[in-house]
């Protein structure tokens, strides 16, 4: 009976199309995380100086814990929404919305930051045509050096990405898969050839010993380094459109975690063994291309090639931001956290077209505002770090909470290092130690962001305040609890999720766990066939 109802509900509900393969899932994540180093390398080395490899390593350790947490949650709850959905299930409506608002900021910044950086790398080729990007900078009233060409290119790119995503996840995923493979090979090549042909370990050691910055400056660089690893949650955002997510997501996530960690540490280590940190600070806009141009024998072609590499990987990262934004707000709409307008699915392409178009406009507006500041990339990077770390803290709390509140959902992957806890009712909960360590690590980065990032500590909370204001007005107008939660049947929801994902073995395992619980409590179980 319950099984038939689950299939019926799954059939009636309008769903996003499951077109993302195992390679598509990997490249969704790589498109987002792999691009970060193109923006972060110059910023982090400029701040952490000779200590940059340590800053990347420490941020990378936190990122690994974040990645493991998302891997467990995304494989257990394969739906659109990612961190917002986990927070909703674990902590309730208000905190689910708050986590969603922080991640919406993150994804919207993703669109603007990486579209801006992508077109910035493309402008590397302007001198070949006898012009320079600074030739297009103008003063607009109180706003100095507004680059109209760069701004226009970025807006056009975001517009194209919106159209691409409305067309469908298959077409959008194919863009990531093709470009992602090429960029992964080229990125690895820069690191390998840099070590083989140009790396001087004595230069790295000399900068470590004599150019290590003061603690407060190192912490600023450490807080910036986290943006090198933001974006792994893109895999969880595509979970509802991934084929066999319980099998695919753990494999792709683990592979992605260590690929990106090794590359980020490799770029910072090889970079400081080839060039002094001051040169990276002077080339914050195109650090990878500048590094590649200094590889002996290959530099004459490696520099332009790396510029092309940066432009393409940043393009698909911005594409991933559009996808993440739209799937996140789509999920929030379904759970009555935002207007139902965002849950509209295109009748032909089966994509959340209203969500894509709506937050595409938000990304364009944020891009325009950022170009009016002294440094567009620095402004966006500050907000990027704030949104990511705030959202990740809530995700770690949700991971811990869901282990207690929902121990019956099958977890195809569990974060390592669990301690068994026997409760009074006889049930056993595996407490995730990494959840507490990750919360501490992300919390330290968040505190550093608030202390050291002038823009992040003002604009970030302002964004959350505006979003929460909207949430309270929306909930009040619709007669919904402001700080409480709408009553939901999470057990039926999980049955529906596993049914739609065609994870029938996990579905049966879940039902059997609920039946055993009900028997232990001495109550009739609705999950017994024929009940």
Residues near 259 by beta carbon (within 8 Å), at least 6 away in sequence:
30, 34, 184
Other Cβ atoms less than 10 A from the Cβ of 443: the count is 16
104-500-503-421 Cα dihedral, nearest 10 degrees: 50
Burial class (CB in 10 A: 0-12, 13-18, 19+), 429: middle
Q: Is residue 166 part of a domain?
A: yes
pTM assigned to the model? 0.81
Residue 514 DSSP SS3: helix
Q: Is residue 529 part of a domain?
A: no
Residue 63 DSSP SS3: helix
What's the rounded Cα separation, in Å, for the pair 413 and 144? 51
Q: 237, 328 in Cβ contact below 8 A? A: yes
Q: 224, 264 in Cβ contact below 8 A? A: no
Residues near 306 by beta carbon (within 8 Å), at least 6 away in sequence:
186, 190, 288, 289, 291, 292, 293
Can you read off the two tokens belonging to residue 365?
A: 């507006």
**Dihedral (CA of 56, 57, 63, 67) sign:** positive
pLDDT digits (tens, 9 = 90+) for 465-507: 999 999 999 999 999 999 999 999 999 999 998 888 788 899 9
pLDDT tens sequence for the chain (531 residues): 333 333 333 333 444 444 555 666 676 667 667 778 888 898 899 889 999 999 999 999 998 999 899 889 988 988 766 788 899 999 999 999 999 999 888 888 888 888 888 888 888 788 878 888 878 888 888 888 888 888 899 999 988 888 877 776 554 456 666 777 777 888 888 899 999 999 999 999 999 999 999 988 898 888 888 888 776 666 665 555 566 677 777 878 888 888 888 988 999 999 999 999 999 988 877 888 889 989 998 888 888 888 887 888 888 778 777 877 877 888 788 889 998 888 777 778 777 788 888 878 888 888 898 888 877 877 888 788 888 889 889 989 999 999 999 999 999 999 998 999 888 777 788 999 999 999 999 999 899 888 888 787 888 899 999 999 999 999 999 999 999 999 999 999 999 988 887 888 999 999 999 999 888 888 888 888 755
Residue 20 DSSP SS3: strand
Q: 101, 26 in Cβ contact below 8 A? A: no
Burial class (CB in 10 A: 0-12, 13-18, 19+), 78: buried
Q: Is residue 527 part of a domain?
A: no
Domain extent at residue 108: 2-521
Domain total in the chain: 1
Residues near 479 by beta carbon (within 8 Å), at least 6 away in sequence:
none
pLDDT digits (tens, 9 = 90+) for 501-517: 788 899 999 999 999 98
End-to-end CA distance of the chain: 7
Q: Is residue 528 part of a domain?
A: no
- Contacts of the segment 96-99: beta carbons below 8 A, 24+ positions apart: 96/332, 96/335, 96/337, 97/332, 97/337, 97/338, 97/467, 97/468, 97/471, 98/394, 98/464, 98/467, 98/468, 99/391, 99/394, 99/395, 99/398
Residue 477 DSSP SS3: helix
pLDDT of amino acid 477? 94
What CATH number is attached to the domain comprising 371?
Answer: 1.20.1740.10
Residue 490 DSSP SS3: helix
pLDDT digits (tens, 9 = 90+) for 10-32: 333 444 444 555 666 676 667 66
Burial class (CB in 10 A: 0-12, 13-18, 19+), 126: middle
Q: Which of 111, 145, 164 is nearest to 365 (CA)?
A: 111
List for the chain the helix, strand, coil content (%; round to 5): 75, 5, 20
Give the residue carrying structure tokens 């067309």: 167
What's the rounded Cα separation, in Å, for the pair 111 and 164? 14
pLDDT of amino acid 57? 93
Q: Is residue 526 part of a domain?
A: no
Can you read off the two tokens belonging to residue 160?
A: 């194209």
Q: Which of 116, 34, 42 is nearest to 287 (CA)?
A: 42
Q: Is residue 530 part of a domain?
A: no
Q: Is residue 478 part of a domain?
A: yes
pLDDT of amino acid 8? 36
R_g over Cα of the chain: 23
Q: Is residue 21 part of a domain?
A: yes
pLDDT of amino acid 238? 59
Burial class (CB in 10 A: 0-12, 13-18, 19+), 130: exposed
Q: Which of 425, 393, 434 is nearest to 407 (CA)?
A: 425
Provide, rounded to the nearest whole percent, the portion of the chain with pLDDT above 90.
30
């Amino acid at each position: 009976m319950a099984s038939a109802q689950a299939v019926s509900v799954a059939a009636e509900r309008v769903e996003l199309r499951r077109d993302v393969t195992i390679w598509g899932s990997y490249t969704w994540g790589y498109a987002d995380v792999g691009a970060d180093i193109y923006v972060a390398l110059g910023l982090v080395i400029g701040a952490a100086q000779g200590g940059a490899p340590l800053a990347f390593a420490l941020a990378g350790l936190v990122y690994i814990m974040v990645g493991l947490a998302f891997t467990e949650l995304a494989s257990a709850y394969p739906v659109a929404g990612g961190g917002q959905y986990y927070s909703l299930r674990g902590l309730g409506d208000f905190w689910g919305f708050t986590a969603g608002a922080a991640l919406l900021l993150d994804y919207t910044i993703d669109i603007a930051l990486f579209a801006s950086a992508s077109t910035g790398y493309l402008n590397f080729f302007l001198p070949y045509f006898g012009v320079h990007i600074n030739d297009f900078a103008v003063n607009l009233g109180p706003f100095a050096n507004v680059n109209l060409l760069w701004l226009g290119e970025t807006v056009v790119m975001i517009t194209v990405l919106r159209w691409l995503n409305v067309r469908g996840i298959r077409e959008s995923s194919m863009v990531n898969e093709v470009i992602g493979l090429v960029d992964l090979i080229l990125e690895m090549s820069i690191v390998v050839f840099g070590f083989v042909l140009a790396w001087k370990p004595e230069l790295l050691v000399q900068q470590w010993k004599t150019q290590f910055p003061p603690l407060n400056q190192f912490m600023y660089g450490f807080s910036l380094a986290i943006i090198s690893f933001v974006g792994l949650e893109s895999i969880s955002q595509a979970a509802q459109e991934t084929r066999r997510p319980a099998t695919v997501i753990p494999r792709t996530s683990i592979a992605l975690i260590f690929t990106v960690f090794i590359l980020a540490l490799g770029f910072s280590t090889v970079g400081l063994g080839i060039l002094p940190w001051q040169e990276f600070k002077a080339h914050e806009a195109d650090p990878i291309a500048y590094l590649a141009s200094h590889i002996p024998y290959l530099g004459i072609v490696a520099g332009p090639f790396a510029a092309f590499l940066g432009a393409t990987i940043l393009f698909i990262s911005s594409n991933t931001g559009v996808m993440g934004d739209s799937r996140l707000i789509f999920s929030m709409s379904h759970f009555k956290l935002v207007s139902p307008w965002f849950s509209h699915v295109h009748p032909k392409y089966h994509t959340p077209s209203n969500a894509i178009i709506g937050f595409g406009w938000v990304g364009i507006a944020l891009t325009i505002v950022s170009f009016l500041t002294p440094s567009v990339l620095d402004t966006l990077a500050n907000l990027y770090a704030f949104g990511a770390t705030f959202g990740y803290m809530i995700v770690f709390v949700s991971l811990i909470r869901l282990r207690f509140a929902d121990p019956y959902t099958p977890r195809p992957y569990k974060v390592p290092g669990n301690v068994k806890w026997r409760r009074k009712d006889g049930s056993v909960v595996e407490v995730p130690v990494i959840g507490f360590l990750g919360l501490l690590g992300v919390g330290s980065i968040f505190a550093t962001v608030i202390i050291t990032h002038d823009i992040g500590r003002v604009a970030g909370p302002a964004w959350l305040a505006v979003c929460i204001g909207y949430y309270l007005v929306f909930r009040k107008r619709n007669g919904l609890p402001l700080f409480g939660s709408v009553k939901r049947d999470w057990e039926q929801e999980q049955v529906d999720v596993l049914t739609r994902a065609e994870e029938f073995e996990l579905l049966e395992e879940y039902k059997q766990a609920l039946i055993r619980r009900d028997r232990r409590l001495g109550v009739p179980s609705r999950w017994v066939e024929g009940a």
